Amino acid sequence: MSPPLHIPASKLCESCRATRALISRPKTNQKLCKTCFLSTFEAEVHATIVSTTLFTRGSRVAIGASGGKDSTVLASVLKTLNERYDYGVEFVLLSIDEGIKGYRDDSLETVKRNAVQYGMELVIVSYEELYGWSMDSVVESIGKKGNCTYCGVFRRQALDRGAERLGINHVVTGHNADDIAETVLMNLLRGDLPRLHRCTSIITSSTSSPIARSKPLKYAYEKEIVLYALHKKLDYFSTECIYSPEAFRGSARTLIKALEKVRPSAILDIVRSGEAFSRMIPSQAQASSAKLSQESGMSNCTRCGYLTSQELCKACTLLDCLNKNRPKMAVEVEAGIEDEEASSSLRRGMEAMKLAEEGIVN
């Protein structure tokens, strides 16, 4: 195919060679036109889904939707691929209302619009209804410090409960390659072998949760997600949570971004290394000590019925603290948190290390 004469060959899309290149792919520096960029991005997510046989025909899968760029792009891409490749999957949007005024109420409006745009059912589960506490009231009670611990524990359980309510046992989340690379480095820095073992798995089914979680965007760069949202003109909400301001971007995140500048493939290369690590951890080191104690077996929380290795689940333990207003408990509960949410758990990790370093906690 000979290129149109008015576009110099050097300016042509490296894929179709027919249109002017508009985008330099952050992952590869490949120069692509808009159409080719979008289709390449989609093809990569599709390749990830197919090579891991992530979905089964006829199943219902919940998309953990926050209204932010990652989950919005995830929902949009999954809708596109489901139609294009006939996955035969019914996707449902599942949102958590943490009860944060000026943040979640606005982003939920975005999710509601997305539900209409993508023709997906939407279910919203609120902390308020589940726990009797909104994050606003948690922060009012304990202050901003450590509130992410509560939020992380509550969210994990809320997603499970929302999925249960929908009769769904698979939740997909918008974690991207940057998140996973960051988690790999953080787990190396913390020396957390159990988490290092599982943080790169595309799908995690944990004994502490009846619901499987998966990350179809695990090879997608954050920068490309932003570009995808931009060029697809997706409707998303871009404000950071007001209780976890930009400052939480820990040093590992900064390092990832610097590495990406030096060698764009570095993020994928770290994910690749992380996948190797997960196969290099001796089986006895794969489970956390919290999980080992579960040899006595997981049971149901005596109060709420959620799966737990203790008598009370983590959420109920935290609720006890809140209700008695003894926030100090949070630190002890922290150690066993199974939450994989990159940002909040990593930040807690750094906080914990800092505390340990300063001799405040052991």
Q: Which of 22, 212, 226, 281 binds other proteins (CB under 8 A)?
A: 281
H or E element at residue 53? none
- Asked if residue 213 lies in contact with residue 171, where contact means CB atoms within 8 angstroms, the answer is yes
Amino acid in the structure at residue 183? T
Residues 294-313 that bind Zn ion (CB under 5 A): 301, 303-304, 306, 313
> 305 among the known binding-site residues?
no
How many beta carbons lie within 10 A of that of residue 290, not counting itself? 15
Residue 292 as a binder of other proteins (CB under 8 A): the answer is no
Question: In degrees rounded to 5, what are phi and psi of residue 11?
Answer: -100, 0
Residue 285 as a binder of other proteins (CB under 8 A): the answer is yes
Rounded-to-integer distance, Cα 165 and Cα 159, Å: 10
Residues 249-268 that bind other proteins (CB under 8 A): 251, 255, 258-259, 262-263, 265-266, 268
Residue 106 as a binder of other proteins (CB under 8 A): the answer is no
- DSSP character string of 239-264: PPPTTS-GGG--HHHHHHHHHHHH-T
Residues 167-186 that bind other proteins (CB under 8 A): 184-185
Residue 27 as a binder of other proteins (CB under 8 A): the answer is yes
Residue 190 as a binder of other proteins (CB under 8 A): the answer is yes
Residue 83 as a binder of other proteins (CB under 8 A): the answer is no
3-state secondary structure at position 62: strand
Amino acid in the structure at residue 346? L
Q: Whose structure tokens read 């290149």?
A: 21
Helices (H), ranges, the chain: 34-51, 69-84, 104-118, 127-131, 135-142, 147-166, 177-190, 193-198, 222-231, 251-262, 266-278, 283-286, 289-292, 314-324, 329-334, 342-357
Q: Whose structure tokens read 């926050």?
A: 66
> 174 among the known binding-site residues?
yes
Nearest to 281 by CA among 183, 189, 197, 191: 197
DSSP label at 12?
Answer: B
Q: Which of 316, 321, 322, 346 binds Zn ion (CB under 5 A)?
A: 316
Choose the one of Zn ion, other proteins, none that binds residue 28, judging by a C-beta under 5 to 8 angstroms depending on kind: other proteins
The size of the interface with other proteins (CB under 8 A), counted in residues, is: 51
DSSP label at 337?
Answer: -
Nearer to other proteins, 270 or 322 (CB): 270
Question: In degrees rounded to 5, what are phi and psi of residue 214?
Answer: -140, 165
Q: At its nearest, how many Å lie between Zn ion and the CB of residue 129?
A: 15
Choose the one of other proteins, Zn ion, none that binds residue 227, judging by a C-beta under 5 to 8 angstroms depending on kind: none
Nearer to Zn ion, 59 or 273 (CB): 273
Residue 30 as a binder of other proteins (CB under 8 A): the answer is yes
**341: its two tokens:** 């949410």
Nearer to other proteins, 190 or 303 (CB): 190
Nearer to Zn ion, 36 or 75 (CB): 36
Nearer to other proteins, 284 or 296 (CB): 284
**115: its two tokens:** 């539900």
Q: At its nearest, how many Å lie between Zn ion and the CB of residue 12?
A: 8
Please give the residue ranges that form the binding site for Zn ion (CB under 5 A): 13, 15-16, 19, 33, 36, 301, 303-304, 306, 313, 316
Please give the residue ranges that form the binding site for other proteins (CB under 8 A): 14-15, 17, 25, 27-28, 30, 36, 40-41, 43-44, 47-48, 184-185, 187-193, 196, 219, 251, 255, 258-259, 262-263, 265-266, 268-270, 272-277, 279-282, 285, 353-354, 356-357
Residue numbers belonging to the annotated binding site for ATP: 64-66, 70, 96, 174, 179
